Amino acid sequence: MKTRLLASIIAFVIAFGGLNLSVLNAASHGGGGHDHSPLGEEMETISKAFRTLRRQAKDPAKNASSAALAGKMLAASQKSLEFEPAWKEDQPKGEQADFVKGYLKGMEQMVAQLTALEKAFKAGDNAKAEAIIAKLRDAQKKGHKAYKKPDED
């Protein structure tokens, strides 16, 4: 009898603990404030690759890796052209079309710069690559200010 009671208690604790952990896991991933839209996912890919790329861009020994990162950013930027910023909905109705056109124009410019960046790394022209990275960084700041919804905190 005591063995059954002990086994039942252990089973209950394991079952409840598993449920509790899954609830905590869902809460920690779902309520993190991250934009999990398709556009948000592509932008996160670009951002992560760009952070790594900026750190290693000066090192010619890492040009192959840098070209691959630029290619990854390029692919995500091209995919981002398929989406509209979520912040569009908060814009006045009469300005939404121009808002999206501005976003698309900026992303097309980014695609062109990333294409040139990938070529620069493949050609071993780190000075040119660093100049393009500086332009991309400025464009990133301006683009996020204009098209990314400000955080609520």
What's 50's domain CATH number? 1.20.120.10
* CA 96 to each of CA 24, 99, 103: distance values in angstroms, whole numbers, following the listed order: 38, 5, 11
Residue 47 is assigned to a structural domain of this protein: yes
Q: Are residues 63 and 138 in the same domain?
A: yes
Q: Which of 82, 56, 80, 83 is nearest to 68 (CA)?
A: 56
pLDDT, position 6: 54
pLDDT truncated to tens, each residue of the chain (153 aa)? 566 655 556 655 565 555 444 443 443 344 444 557 899 999 999 999 999 999 999 999 999 999 999 999 999 999 999 999 988 988 999 999 999 999 999 999 999 999 999 999 999 999 999 999 999 999 999 988 888 888 765
pTM tops 0.85 = no
Q: What's the number of domains the chain is made of?
A: 2
Helix (H, G, I), strand (E, B) or coil at 37: coil
Q: Are 89 and 100 in contact (CB under 8 A)?
A: no
Clarify whether residues 64 and 130 are in a common domain: yes
In a domain, 63, yes or no: yes
**Domain hosting residue 10, numbered range:** 1-32
Q: What per-residue confidence (pLDDT) applies to 86?
A: 86
Domain identity same for 19 and 50: no
Contact 70, 118 (CB under 8 A): yes
